[in-house]
Amino acid sequence: LIDCIVAISMATHLNANPIVSNTEESHGASPMVSVPRTVEREPFSSLEVFELIRRVRDPEHENLTLEQLRVTTLENILVDDDESQAFPFVRVHFTPTIPHCSMATLIGLCLSVKLLRSLPVRFKLAVLITPGTHASEDEINKQLNDKERVAAALENPHLLKVVNKCISDSSGHVNDFKYSFDSTSSDFLPFSKFEP
């Protein structure tokens, strides 16, 4: 996974003329910078999750967001945060701009990291390619939802730098935490600041 993503992140533009959507409209929620990872239960909605990821930058077209490219949309986010559920979840589907997009794994990794850093720990997270929109959909979905592979990918300094660049907000602020995989709790745990 690491070698594949690093090679892809250094590749040339495959989609030289992506379709760009207007994103000036408000979706009815104020922008959120970060959500504290506390144990207090504050309900989340699909709109709030969308607000967290809408400004993630495309790794291939760095001046465009995933929302502008219609890679992420509010309609492709499902949040089940019912208090009666033992395991609430967030499921995000993203749609690559072309069926053979070489950046799909990297985009999914960026979305996963942004949400892991922003959502309360109670959520089980699944980041998936929208069904039928990518030639390697099953393989990429398996990689993106394998916590050990994601943790290993984030140990690569070059890859972590690319991810941090994509998920930094418009002010340039980013939480530069490395993540370690805790096999006893099946969770990612921040353990130190990343020094580029």
Does the pLDDT value for residue 80 go beyond 90?
yes
Does the pLDDT value for residue 10 go beyond 80?
no
Q: Is 119 left (phi over 0), alpha (psi -120 to 50) or beta?
A: beta
**What number is the average pLDDT over the span 61-88?**
92
Question: What is the predicted pLDDT for the residue at 178?
Answer: 46
Sign of the torsion angle spanned by Cα atoms 117, 119, 123, 124:
negative
CB 155 within 8 A of CB 147: no
Parallel, antiparallel, or unpaired for β 89-94 and 124-129?
Answer: parallel
Sign of the torsion angle spanned by Cα atoms 94, 100, 103, 108:
positive
Which pLDDT tens digit goes with each residue over 117-142?
999 888 999 999 999 999 999 999 99
How sure is the predictor about 3, in pLDDT bands with cuts at 50, 70 and 90? low
C-beta atoms surrounding 13 within 10 Å:
11
Instruction: Output the pTM of the full model.
Output: 0.71
Question: What is the predicted pLDDT for the residue at 118?
Answer: 93
What is d(CA 7, CA 23) in angstroms, rounded to the nearest whole number?
Answer: 31
Q: How far is CA 67 from CA 4, 11, 16, 63, 164, in A?
A: 25, 22, 17, 12, 18
Q: 72 is written with which tokens?
A: 């992420």
Which pLDDT tens digit goes with each residue over 17-37?
777 777 655 555 555 555 555
Mean residue pLDDT of the chain comes to 80
Which pLDDT tens digit goes with each residue over 28-71?
555 555 555 555 567 889 999 999 999 999 999 999 999 999 99
CB 159 within 8 A of CB 5: yes
Which pLDDT tens digit goes with each residue over 149-190?
999 999 999 999 999 999 996 444 444 444 444 444 444 444
